Homo-oligomer: A and B are copies of this chain.
Amino acid sequence: MEFTDLTRTRRSVHQYADTDIDDETLVAVFEDVRRTPSSFNLQPWEFLVVRGDDLERLRSVAYGQEHVTDAAAAVVVLGTLDPSDHAERVTTDLLEKGYLPDEAAAEARLDTVDGLADADDETRRVWTVQSCSLAAMTLMYAAWDRGIASCPMGGFDADALRSEFGVPDDYDPVLLVTLGYPAADAADIERDRKFRRDTEEVVHLDEFDPAARGPPADD
C-alpha cells in the first residue's frame, strides 16, 4: 500500500477476526521489520511471537486485557540490554563495505559500543527501547500493509512476562503488539479516528516554543 494510505488507514484495533496469520505472511512482515535502522546498526531486538493457547499466558501477565486472546498473535518486542551483543558482526560488515575507512575506525567503533555496554542501567534501557520502538513501528506498518491490524500495548508486568516465557533478565520487554485480521465491523475501525494534535501545534520551525504544551481542550 502507498505509505500515506497506510498512515491514514492504520488504526489501533482491539476486535479481531477468528483467522490465523500464516507463517509465510508473518515472515514477510519481519522481512520489512529487520531492515529498520538502529543505533550503530546494532539491531538490539528479538521478537517473540505468541499464538494459540499461549496467548492466555500472555494475557495473564498483561492485566487480563481481552484483546490479547482475541488476537491471532501477539509479538513481544524484546530489547537486549547488552549493546555489544552483535557489535563484532556489525562492525566487520561496516568495514568490509566501506562504511568505516580502516581497522582503526572499526576498533574505535567497538570501543564506543563497549563504553555503551558499560553504561548505567537507565542509559542502556533507554538505548534499547529507542531502537526497538523504531522496529515496532515498522512492524505495525508492515502488518497493516498486508491487511493485518495491530495494537501496541505498554500495559504488562515485565517481570511476570520474563518469568512466564523464560526470558532472561538482560532483555527488556519493550512493547507488546497484538496482530490479527480485523473483525468485520471492528468498532475501532468504524468509529471516528482519535484526536491527533495538529501539525502546526507539534512542529516548531527554527525555534522551540516553550509554551508548546497545546491549547486548552476545544477540539
Contacts and interface: CB of A to CB of B under 8 A. Distances in A.
Interface in A7-42: 7-8, 10, 12, 23, 26-27, 30-37, 39, 41
B122 A174 contact: no
A197 B99 contact: no
Interface in A36-54: 36-37, 39, 41, 43, 45-52, 54
A9 B64 CA distance: 40
Contacts of A61: none
A145 B3 contact: yes
Interface residues of A, number: 94
Total identical chains: 2
Contacts of A131: 133
A167 to B, nearest CB: 5
A156 interface: no
A48 B51 CA distance: 41
A78 interface: yes
A39 B191 CA distance: 19
Nearest to A152: B37
A8 B35 contact: yes
A56 interface: no
Interface string A167-199: 110000011000000000001100110111111
